[in-house]
Amino acid sequence: MSPFATELTAARAAQESWARVPVRDRLRYVRALRALLAERADEICTTIQADIARSAVEVIGTELLPTAAALKFLEKRAARLLGATRISWWDQPTWLMGCRDTVHRRPWGVVGVIGTWNYPIYLNVVQLAQALVAGNAVLWKPSENVPRASELTRALFRDAGFPVALLQVLPATREAGPQLAETDVDHVVFTGSDGVGRKLAARLGERLIPSTLELSGCDAMFVLSDANVELAARAAWFGLTLNRGQTCIAVRRVFVQRERMEAFAEALAPLVRAEPLGLVLESQRAQAERLIADATKRGATTLQNPTPRPSAPPSSSTSRPMPRSAARRASRRSRPSSRSKRSTTRCHWRTGRRSDCPRRCSPRTLRRHRSWRRGFRPGA
């Protein structure tokens, strides 16, 4: 008896009726799911912060917005991409001249998804939604590192209206992943390390089960002689520290041309933090320490911030940033003015360039302004 036989049977029964639902009707649930992301944004940020200590800014920028964009893409393109496609005569070989060919896309059936933890909403929600929109049912093995985010993801799909039996959630354990590879699913999607991916691909290949594997990388950044060194340093630091480096496309190595190396190091040093970045897994911390020790042994030098960032003063209350409109009104009230005499000259000072306007107005606003206080005129 194959593992998870009960979940597999329920998923297959639900998938048979789900596959007969038109794609445009399936997309109604995707639209509801996208709306839930916006409605529960605060809850999602709090949940991910509790699981892996990510800030709300990072969650919104790297989880919510990309997920919403991916779901929007499905709403706009899925019906056409999954529809029947006629093959043009120009693409047919000569020996099939006179034939009429049409490609029909059919769902796999039941798809097994082995989820990841570094982007618990984006990577999991998008993969699940894509499989469901294509007419499949899903056996989902979430990561054991993000239990709260996994439960929230399940609730989002349920509250969006997807049939409950379509998404079968398996135990979030390390043993459940290999067990899923032994289940009689029709396709497997895996996101994780290349070591685990190799073993999984070998086992699935023996069973002739197709798979989609998104494995970790070792991406490099190259800084050439004509580069903007300051911009390159900021980009390198961003690529190194986004999600504390726990990203498959994070910068792992930086190659700098020798004549720009000193300038690049000087530009990068002020960005270095004194305290180490906290990692989720103990194995990650041990690997980072091992790599640093090995590099130092081979002659590498440690880059330190010459002027550590001052700590923020303690505050007994939290304050929200001033809205842009309120900040603009406060800025206008604080500007010097001369009410005694007005000028009838346009504010763009006959040049039309935004840089010549003391208020940095947009071109449309520049054309509308007919009179300015003399106190605002450049050089007055």
* Residue pointed to by tokens 């504390």: 244
User: How far from each other are the two terminal CA atoms of the chain, in whole angstroms?
Assistant: 88
**How many residues would you count in the chain?**
380
Q: What is the DSSP string of 295-352?
A: HHHTT------SSPPPPPPP-SS--PPPPHHHHHHHHHHTS----S-EE-S-TTTTT-
Q: Tell me if residue 206 is catalytic.
A: no
Q: Would you say the C-alpha torsion 230, 233, 238, 239 has a positive or negative sign?
A: positive
Query: Which residue out of 58, 144, 214, 266 is catalytically annotated?
Result: 214
Cα–Cα distance, 187 to 8 (Å, whole number): 13
Q: What is the DSSP string of 188-238?
A: EEEEE-HHHHHHHHHHHHHTT--EEEEE---EEEEE-TTS-HHHHHHHHHH
φ, ψ of residue 46 in degrees (nearest 5)? -65, -40
Query: Which residue out of 248, 266, 275, 357 is catalytically annotated?
Result: 248
Pick the closest to residue 270 from 219, 210, 226, 229 (CA basis).
229
Q: Cβ distance 63 to 152 under 8 Å?
A: no
Q: Tell me if residue 214 is catalytic.
A: yes
Active site residues: 214, 248
